[in-house]
Amino acid sequence: MSDYRLVAREHGGPEVIIAEPIVAGPVADGMARIRHTAIGVNFIDTYHRTGLYPLPLPAPLGVEAAGVVEELGHGVEGLRIGQRVGYAVGQTGSYASWQDVPAARLIAIPDSISDQEAAAILLKGLTAETLIFGCARIAAGQSALVLAAAGGMGRILVQWLAALGVRVIAHAGSPAKAAIATGLGADIALHCPFDELAPAVRKATDGHGVDVVFDGVGAASWTASLDSLRRRGLMISFGNASGPVPPVSPLELTGRGSLFLTRPRLFDYVFERAELEASAARLFAAVEAGKVTIEIGLKRPLGEAAEVHRLLEARQTTGSVVLIP
């Protein structure tokens, strides 16, 4: 098959992912055709596949890629053919040889960052920027608990928070992953079962708990995360890697010390073009300053996406995962 895309033919396990040929037509007004060179894999791709976040079927998979501008529709300004760009917000279908993307969603990739690095960092890095500066507004001297700390999002959060002077308590699913978190700057890295996590966090914080929890694990860690917060602490629940959090009563927040809860998604923080540009600029500056390093833990051909989903869902990956078309 020459040019193709991967779709979920129905909602289900990795076996529902199939390839379909794609044929190039004219590029619509305001759009740019991006020939992909590297595709970022994100946990949200599994939600689109399973139907946790339902899309019309067949569901085009993938939300992030880097590549080269191949063709421009009418009315597009500020982009040129051959330019290196990436995208990570507002559109599915990046598991493909190429895709047409709204020009307003494209981000120019700096010379210092390769296409594969861009595909590894854009969505997760923009999200980390949003969670740290948009949601947590956390400062040096405060404390944070980061779950799945050796994963794609986690390793960016740990590094960036540590660079800001935040005291980071990391949690990961194994001793080897916890050691990765320590190497990234975590003050303490735990790998206990979730039901032992809150007591361990309290012990490490003189009984108080942390100021902020960054939780992308979801259902499995929900109670542990809430119980790890100090009075008036902030719970940032940003994902469902272990399944979605069940319905919550506001009184659960009251009883634990007047907690704050937010359930953010990146899209709402980079909805305006200016917000997207500002977030990307801060991310690239952090990478260029060495505050955030890019780790591609797994790189596979695009055609192996189903196997890659199996590994991601089985907690077998660390760092970012990239597919090469």
Taking CB under 6 A as the criterion, the residue among 7, 16, 37, 43 binding ligand NDP is 43
Helix (H, G, I), strand (E, B) or coil at 56: coil
Cα separation, 252 vs 159, in Å, equals: 31
**Closer CB to ligand NDP, residue 141 or residue 199?**
199
- Quick note: the x/- pattern for ligand NDP over 79-118, rule CB under 6 A, is ----------------------------------------
**Closer CB to ligand NDP, residue 72 or residue 138?**
138
Q: What is the distance, to the nearest Å, from the Cα of residue 157 to the centroid of all Cα atoms in its chain?
A: 10
Copy the structure tokens of residue 308.
């890659």
Taking CB under 6 A as the criterion, the residue among 142, 143, 240, 279 binding ligand NDP is 240
Copy the structure tokens of residue 34.
């991006």
Cα separation, 85 vs 68, in Å, equals: 6
Cα separation, 98 vs 25, in Å, equals: 12
127 lines the binding site for ligand NDP (CB under 6 A): yes
241 lines the binding site for ligand NDP (CB under 6 A): yes
Cα separation, 136 vs 37, in Å, equals: 34
Give Cβ neighbours of residue 131 (< 8 Å, ≥ 6 apart).
157, 214, 236, 238, 264
132 lines the binding site for ligand NDP (CB under 6 A): no
Q: Which residues pair with 101 in a beta bridge?
A: 32
**Closer CB to ligand NDP, residue 86 or residue 216?**
216
Taking CB under 6 A as the criterion, the residue among 6, 16, 17, 44 binding ligand NDP is 44
- Quick note: the x/- pattern for ligand NDP over 6-25, rule CB under 6 A, is --------------------
- Quick note: the x/- pattern for ligand NDP over 168-207, rule CB under 6 A, is ----xx---x------------------------------
**Closer CB to ligand NDP, residue 27 or residue 180?**
180
121 lines the binding site for ligand NDP (CB under 6 A): no
Q: Which residues of 35-71 are buried (b: 16+ CB within 10 A; e: fewer)?
A: bbbbbbbbbbbbbbbbeebebeebbbbbbbbbbbbbb
Taking CB under 6 A as the criterion, the residue among 38, 109, 157, 217 binding ligand NDP is 217
Q: What is the distance, to the nearest Å, from the Cα of residue 237 to the centroid of all Cα atoms in its chain?
A: 13
Interface positions with ligand NDP (CB under 6 A): 42-44, 123-124, 127, 148, 150-154, 172-173, 177, 216-217, 220, 238-242, 264-266, 312-313, 315, 317
